[in-house]
Amino acid sequence: MPLIKREYNGKSPEDFRLVLDFEGMENPQGIDAYKSKKGYEALTAVLKEKRKPDDLIQLVKDSGLRGRGGAGFPTGLKWGFVPKDAPEKYLLCNFDEGEPGTYKDRYITEISPHMLVEGMVISAYAFGAAKSYVYLRGEFYDEIGWTEKAIREAYDAGFLGENILGSGFTHHMDVYTGSGAYICGEETAMISSLEGKKGQPKLKPPFPAVAGYLGKPTVVNNVETLAVVPWIVRNGAEAYRAFGTEKSPGTKLFNLSGPVKNPGCFEVPLGYPLKRFIEEEGGGLLDGKKLKAVIPGGASAPVLTAEEVENITLDYECLQAAGSMLGSGAVIVIPEDVSMVDVLDNLMHFFKSESCGQCTPCREGTGWLGSMAHSLAAGHGQASDVERVAAIASQMAGKTICAFSDAAAGPAMSIVQKFPHEFQSRFG
């Protein structure tokens, strides 16, 4: 299931396996299966060869790895922001996967939670964290179990704990469980939650790399980001850069959802054509329906029309240029028979439910857009309402502590701007 179907850029599908190399194995989640696939070799090499932490940071910088949670921030750069001399630092793995359309991180742990554990220990070593947490969303009952088990196995095998492999490096890891709040996927909201508080993003500056969990330097990285680190350590930055584009190197996990024949999680080189992805990997739409729109990067990414999809490639820069974003890599397909008015209603309901309520423009704006979209969908709207949606959304964007307000505003604006005719037919 998870690979592209045919040759791409002169390479065979198998060549694009970085992350998902554990399929078809019996008990792939276990540490033995992982070790049989070079598991913990990278960590062992790092610790036995006493690699300099700064060299590892440089390696990840050179690889061009960008945060896979949605923002696409260069990972090595993030690690580099952590003060070297701070006595207490933390690594926090963002496994709060909740962006509608996204289910890649759970897929990684379903296949091999040890990839994550190894990636975390190496990353922690690189910037000097003695403690890390995997923050999982509360609904991930199975995933919590898989992760806990992998951590236990890693402790038993000596890859976690005091003086790992005799290197002098000590690292402890634990899991922490959220309880139903999308916003906890925002890194500082996650830190607040880990501190036992409401999941509300923290005012920046200071940034978490300087003052995060309990005011200590903290790096928050997505599961997918951390899971690919061992591969980069084993194969080098150049090898990683052989995939993807200049500014978006590597492969990425993309999730396809909505009414397509073959929905799922695929490992795809960045820069891959979106249309080909939907048609070949996804097998096209169910019942031979025509494509109306695509949300390319999870519910917070502005929508693309079917025409726009024609020339889109799945990488950070192309989607940004098209006014949308790569986000978490969740491609959501909207067929011709679904009204965009109802899509707006659905999305705005989500954002209204999930706003943390801290910043006024977001708290009030998401509530307001939620009510308006609902009334438009119920046929009580008028032409001025559509203008109001755009006006409200434009004033919510860029005005708040975190990007949630933008995440609500972007889809709202894109829908009313790109599909005005659909609203007209619904006016009461």
Partner 1 sequence: MSQEQSVQLTVDGREVSVPAGSTIMEAVRKLGEIEVPHFCWHPGLSVAGVCRFCMVKIEGVPKLQIACNTEVREGMAVDTIAADVKEAHKWALEFHLINHPLDCPICDQAGECELQNYYMKVGKYTSQMDEDKVLKPKALDVGDTLVLDTERCILCSRCVRFEDEITKTSTLGIFNRGDRAVIGTFPDRRIQHNYSYNLADICPVGAFTAKDFRFQCRVWFLKESESICPGCSTGCNVKVFQNGNSREYFRLKPLENPEVNGHWMCDYGRTQFEHLNVKDRLVSPLGADNSALSWSDAAARFGELVKSQAGADNGKVALVLTPQHTNEEFSAIFSHLKSQLGREPEVFVWREATEERDSFDGILFRGDRNPNTRGLEDTLKELGVSAKECSGLKDVGLSQAQLAVVLGPEVERAYPSLETDLAVLREMPAVVYFGNHRSQAAAGLSLRVPTLVFTEKEGTYVNHAGLKQTLKANARVMPSLKSLTEFLGGA
Partner 2 sequence: MSTTTHPFSDELKARIKSFLTRYETKRSSILPILHAIQDEKDWISEDDVALLESEFDLSAVDVREVLTFYSMYRTSPPEPWRLEICNSISCWLMGSKKTLEAAERRIQEAKSRGEKLPFSCREVECLGLCGKGPVGFVNKERHENVTPERALQLMEEYSQKPLPAAAVRCAELQTGEGSASENPHSN
Stretch 183-242 residues interacting with partner 2 (CB under 8 A): 193-199, 213-214
Taking the complex as a whole, the smallest distance from the CB of residue 195 to partner 2 amounts, in Å, to: 6
Among the residue ranges 54-62, 77-85, 150-158, 330-338, the one whose residues contact partner 2 (CB under 8 A): 330-338
Among 166, 205, 421, 425, binds partner 1 (CB under 8 A): 205
Q: Does 198 bind partner 1 (CB under 8 A)?
A: yes
Q: Which of the listed partners (partner 2, partner 1, none) does 332 bind, with a CB threshold of 5 to 8 Å by partner kind?
A: partner 2
Identity at 180, one-letter amino acid code: G
SS3 265: strand
CA 327-136-82 angle, to 5 degrees, is 70
Q: Which of the listed partners (partner 2, partner 1, none) does 164 bind, with a CB threshold of 5 to 8 Å by partner kind?
A: none
Q: How far is CA 346 from CA 196, 340, 408, in A?
A: 30, 10, 11
Q: How far is CA 193 from CA 178, 196, 278, 383, in A?
A: 7, 5, 36, 41
Taking the complex as a whole, the smallest distance from the CB of residue 25 to partner 2 amounts, in Å, to: 21
Q: Which of the listed partners (partner 1, partner 2, none) does 101 bind, with a CB threshold of 5 to 8 Å by partner kind?
A: partner 2
Residue 317 near residue 245, CB atoms below 8 Å: yes
Taking the complex as a whole, the smallest distance from the CB of residue 173 to partner 2 amounts, in Å, to: 13
Q: Does 343 bind partner 2 (CB under 8 A)?
A: yes
Residue 8 near residue 269, CB atoms below 8 Å: yes
Residue 128 near residue 81, CB atoms below 8 Å: no
Among 58, 167, 346, 375, binds partner 2 (CB under 8 A): 346
The DSSP result for 7-63, as a single string, is -BTTB-GGGG-SS-TTTT-SSTTSHHHHHHTTTTHHHHHHHHTT--HHHHHHHHHHH
Among the residue ranges 59-67, 307-315, 328-336, 414-422, the one whose residues contact partner 2 (CB under 8 A): 328-336
Residue ranges in contact with partner 2 by CB under 8 A: 97-103, 106, 137-142, 174, 176-182, 193-199, 213-214, 255-259, 263-265, 295, 299, 330, 332-335, 338, 343, 346-347, 349-350, 353-354, 356
